Structure 1
Amino acid sequence: MAPSSKAKTHVLKNLDLPSILEPAETPSHIAGTKVIATLGPACRDVDTLVDLLESGLAAARIDLTWGSLEYHKQSLRNLQLASQKTKLLCAVILDTVGRELMIRRDYELDSEGWPTHKEVLEIKKGQELVVTTDETAVASSTKLPISYPHFAHMCQPGDSLFVGRYLVNGADQSSLYLEVKEVEGQNVVCTAVNDAVLDGLLTTDLPLLTQLDEEAIKMYTKEFEIDYINLTYTCSGLDVHEMREFLDEIGSTQVKIIAKVENLQALQNFDSIVAAADAVVLSRGNLGLDVAPEKTAVVQKAAINRCNLQGKPVIITRLVDTMVEAPRCTRAEATDVANAVLDGVDGMLLGAETLRGRYAVETVRTVLSICRQAELAFDYEEHFEHMITSAMDVRHHPHRFAAGLIICYAGTGRTASLIAKYRPTVPILALVVPNLKSKGLSWELEGRFLARQFQVMRGLIPLLGAPMGGANSEQMLAEAVSVALKRGLVRAKQHVVCVLSVRGDFMLKVVSVDDRQGVPADQRQVKAATDPFA
């Protein structure tokens, strides 16, 4: 059933072009929109990861599609070191292979263990090419061995096939379109619709998880702290439930699930996917193969709208392809990123730009800079016409008291994510206080996962407190305000709205910031209430 509420169309309030053209001032707070980088040869060393984190990177993605398990383990180790050096939180997202079909090609490993191919495959328009399930076949410009043994049974004359390079982007030529002429046993005989130069891992688009996926998830969740599974080719809410059952079986109950929407079937089941998943990725490259060009912008806006209304983080891909090779994005790419922010997107997922791009750090800085400026123009007051009234005091207090910051004590994350759903004009500092929990003969610290998982939610800035004292203590509040002042999230004399829970009731506490290292000077109002979100 379609939601009864709808998001308002964005209207730009400032129409004064001279003032818009003035040199952009960098806001004192971190951009609300989050940027995620795919780790690969161009950015996996510790020094580059440090630069990325200090530039504002919120999360790192490990894609199992390409590269050995050991290669990705080293990337995760490097990320741990970079986080320790910078003392900055970074969420880890593990991307599954899933239903993606691969062209089998011989490869060699470079000095760091990254798979490479010596030769490219050149295809000419109009030539005949065979896609085969023959395991003895060798990949060439006339024959492509495919990984799925039942592929031929799926095809019939007249079908269109797409073969693309891993993380293909609009700036390269590794996109091949084929038309099926006939099916002969194991062979699918096709005609090339266009010229193409195929390099790297080649994919064409079936179990939800491959054996590699299951092995990697079990291995990495034991050795590292994985925050999200990015479920490739999610087709319905049932896929998300199946993934959750697998995570529960292996004891990874703290890992959340991002549903990756990549085809028409997923769009048709979008409501069930959003309801079941913890977050959604719109894989715009693959969606572009199923959706007509004239429909893509409307589909994106509608999908983002649905996620916003449900309070589920929504992330988009394929952002600044040009920056794989160039230090600056195009006008169209910059406009695309800004418009996505105005539409209400939570995060931007960089793929080839950081995995193999020449300007990984510059790309993160550029995208964040565009997001910051778009956020300054975002119509916070009118964006949600029905939800503002249901947000009640939590949503209106920042304006009533001219507050500069919201601090939310986060236990389960529900309150913080609900506040973020309504897009307040000020940053939200989500204070997470870890708890020691007994685990057999050992102890584990609960809370770190939650803090990092906030990294994909727009407007939320997680702060991991020390595992000591009461979560609602005055001392903890004073320390949080002090940290916020040092980070430039709030200024002296501004008000801070604090949201906390006291014996099951919600309390809103408004304090003003003192000049003395941010210690709350006076308490302007305390209001106790039942759950304002019920």
Structure 2
Amino acid sequence: MSFLKLPDHKTKIVCTIGPASSSEEVLRELILNGMNVARINFSHGSFESHGKVIRTIKKLCKELDVVVSIMADLPGPKIRVGQLQDEPLNLQKGDKVKLTTDKIVGSGDLIPVDFDKLPYCIAKTSDVYFNDGFIQMRCNGVCSNEAECEVVVGGLLSSHKGVNLPGTDLLLDPVTERDLEIVDFVLDEGVNCFSVSFIVRGTDIQKVRDHAAKKGRSVFLVAKIERSQTLNNIDDIMDVTDGLMVARGDLGVEIPIEEVPIVQKELIHKANLRGIPVITATHMLESMTENIRPTRAEATDVANAILDGTDAVMLSGETAVGKYPVETVKTMVNIAKKTEMWRTSTGFGLDLIRKGIDETTMNISDVVSVQVHEAIKRLPIKYVVIPTYSGGTPRRISRFKPDEWIIAMSHLDMTCEQLAYSYGVYPVKVTDGSESIEQKANESLRSKGIGDPGDMIVLTQGHTGGTNLLKIIELT
């Protein structure tokens, strides 16, 4: 029997879809070359344009018989520069500038900011950052609806660039009414996965879940970690979220930049121990927005995130507006492939994950996942095969970053889409039936052309109350 050509890498690739990648032709190439999750950024574009992209991706998934999750990125209360008349505005160190909440077109030394509460949140001698921290100003005083600032680090500033006030209580609800409108629209389009921006505590995630529940829908929520206050509540957030995103752009402005690498490692490790997927995001291959090759530092950054234990790596502007979206995905895949091969041959970092899991309080499901890991190490196992309802069992086994594919079979579209975020999990849509677990495994793999008769597989399954079955069988 011929094999289905499984990917030659197991790290999942998240691509932001934008003008450079929204056509059917480019989306097809992104899927064929490794995209597992399509991120739709609702900070830009219209419902009409996003709806068209969503429907195109669903059509291509059906045509190509693959699972690609669609993740709607809720913008949250992002503070942005207003409209500038002559842009980009060239700001020089020492320039005196006024930030205003007036709805004007900015020019020269008067810059509008679309945040009415700015005078109440900004304080004298506090710093304001623009464009992911590349421009820095210091506030020298506040008068009425204006803040008088001096440029500390200059640069080119364009309309609608982001504004950060590190360490400030923004007096804003992280989940806005606009976010909930987006949730309603996306659910109506048949999408159930969301990333939630600028959260501070677990109740922010719960607000989105409760809103969807009122419409009779279950959702998969990814908490974006991008504010300094969020780190203080990380355990509370991880108790209620389905996934985590290390959003290094805003996070690198909110905390000292030298702390970002350590925070990244700590967040990934925490997510690994809990068995929830984690995405590392922002500036991963940024130079490929304009260039056909990345820098050596960028390639190293991607590899290090994988060695940290990330489940997925994310592309933002590189695929949304870049010149080489498909080539960027190919580059990301090649880095992942080489990094995973080296980790397999050396065991780098895997002992830390295993040690961390061993030190947690284990339930039956955790113990079975450890035994699956032991079986893989000691026997010539070709695949781990898991009929699953919730996706919990594949995620627990994925924590160990096995070299063998985890074939997760589910009759639920939502479960298959959620598993598109987890390292080394290949979701397969199957029909719901009454056959035995062995029959289901054999028939499903045979229908996909996965494996040959006589191949040894680990077969495990979760039941109500957890994962409590493990068999080692040969395919027939």
> What is the TM-score with the length of structure 2 in the denominator?
0.88
CA change 1:399–1:103 in 2 (3 A) is same
For the residues of structure 2 that align with 1:503 and 1:66, how far apart are their CA atoms? 42
Matching residue of 2:362? none
Equivalent in 254, 276, 281 of residue 290 of structure 1: 254
Equivalent in 176, 197, 212 of residue 210 of structure 1: 176
Stretches of structure 2 that go unaligned for 5 or more consecutive residues are: 165-171, 359-365
Alpha-carbon distance, 1:371 to partner: 1.0
Matching residue of 2:167? none
Alpha-carbon distance, 1:153 to partner: 1.1
Matches within 5 A, 1:40-55: 40-55=18-33
- Is 2:418 the counterpart of 1:453? yes
Decide whether the 8 Å contact of 2:289 with 2:324 is kept in 1: yes
- Is 2:444 the counterpart of 1:480? yes
Matching residue of 2:156? 197
Alpha-carbon distance, 1:94 to partner: 1.0
Matching residue of 2:101? 133
Equivalent in 117, 133, 155 of residue 122 of structure 2: 155
For the residues of structure 2 that align with 1:69 and 1:177, how far apart are their CA atoms? 34
SS of the aligned residue for 1:276 comes to: coil
Cα deviations by residue, 1:183-222 (Å, 9 ceiling, x for unpaired): 1100111112233222353221432222322212112211
CA change 1:392–1:183 in 2 (3 A) is closer
Alpha-carbon distance, 1:53 to partner: 0.4
Stretches of structure 1 that go unaligned for 5 or more consecutive residues are: 1-26, 107-116, 169-173, 434-446, 513-519, 522-534
- Is 2:266 the counterpart of 1:302? yes
Equivalent in 376, 382, 394 of residue 351 of structure 2: 382
- Is 2:471 the counterpart of 1:506? no
Matches within 5 A, 1:54-453: 54-105=32-83, 119-135=87-103, 137-164=104-131, 175-199=134-158, 201-205=160-164, 206-222=172-188, 224-252=189-217, 254-318=218-282, 319-378=284-343, 379=347, 382-383=351-352, 384-387=354-357, 390=367, 391-433=369-411, 447-453=412-418
Cα deviations by residue, 1:343-365 (Å, 9 ceiling, x for unpaired): 10011111111111111111111
Equivalent in 458, 463, 466 of residue 428 of structure 2: 463
Cα deviations by residue, 1:247-274 (Å, 9 ceiling, x for unpaired): 222333x211111000211112111112
For the residues of structure 1 that align with 2:291 and 2:308, how far apart are their CA atoms? 27
Cα deviations by residue, 1:442-465 (Å, 9 ceiling, x for unpaired): xxxxx1011011000111110001
Cα deviations by residue, 1:266-296 (Å, 9 ceiling, x for unpaired): 1121111122211110111111113323322
Give the counterpart letter for 1:425 in structure 2.
D
The more displaced of 387-396 and 236-245 is 387-396
For the residues of structure 1 that align with 2:447 and 2:152, how far apart are their CA atoms? 58
Alpha-carbon distance, 1:483 to partner: 4.9
Identity, % of aligned positions: 26
Decide whether the 8 Å contact of 1:225 with 1:449 is kept in 2: no
Give the counterpart letter for 1:183 in structure 2.
V
The more displaced of 209-218 and 452-461 is 209-218
> What is the TM-score with the length of structure 1 in the denominator?
0.79
Alpha-carbon distance, 1:67 to partner: 1.7
For the residues of structure 2 that align with 1:503 and 1:367, how far apart are their CA atoms? 38
SS of the aligned residue for 2:70 comes to: strand
For the residues of structure 1 that align with 2:434 and 2:240, how far apart are their CA atoms? 33
The more displaced of 62-71 and 500-509 is 500-509
The more displaced of 472-481 and 385-394 is 385-394
For the residues of structure 2 that align with 1:428 and 1:483, how far apart are their CA atoms? 17
Cα deviations by residue, 1:226-255 (Å, 9 ceiling, x for unpaired): 232111011112222222222222333x21
The structure carrying a bigger helix percent of its residues is 2
Alpha-carbon distance, 1:492 to partner: 6.0
For the residues of structure 2 that align with 1:483 and 1:369, how far apart are their CA atoms? 29
Give the counterpart letter for 2:157 in structure 1.
L
For the residues of structure 1 that align with 2:254 and 2:435, how far apart are their CA atoms? 49
For the residues of structure 2 that align with 1:503 and 1:350, how far apart are their CA atoms? 37
CA change 1:491–1:194 in 2 (3 A) is farther
For the residues of structure 2 that align with 1:503 and 1:81, how far apart are their CA atoms? 34
Give the counterpart letter for 1:406 in structure 2.
V
Give the counterpart letter for 1:448 in structure 2.
D
CA change 1:417–1:326 in 2 (3 A) is same
Alpha-carbon distance, 1:156 to partner: 1.6
The more displaced of 323-332 and 120-129 is 120-129
For the residues of structure 2 that align with 1:103 and 1:62, how far apart are their CA atoms? 22
For the residues of structure 1 that align with 2:42 and 2:140, how far apart are their CA atoms? 33
Cα deviations by residue, 1:150-189 (Å, 9 ceiling, x for unpaired): 111111211100121xxx6xxxxx9321111111100111
For the residues of structure 1 that align with 2:61 and 2:80, how far apart are their CA atoms? 34
For the residues of structure 2 that align with 1:392 and 1:307, how far apart are their CA atoms? 17
For the residues of structure 1 that align with 2:234 and 2:437, how far apart are their CA atoms? 42
For the residues of structure 2 that align with 1:448 and 1:459, how far apart are their CA atoms? 18
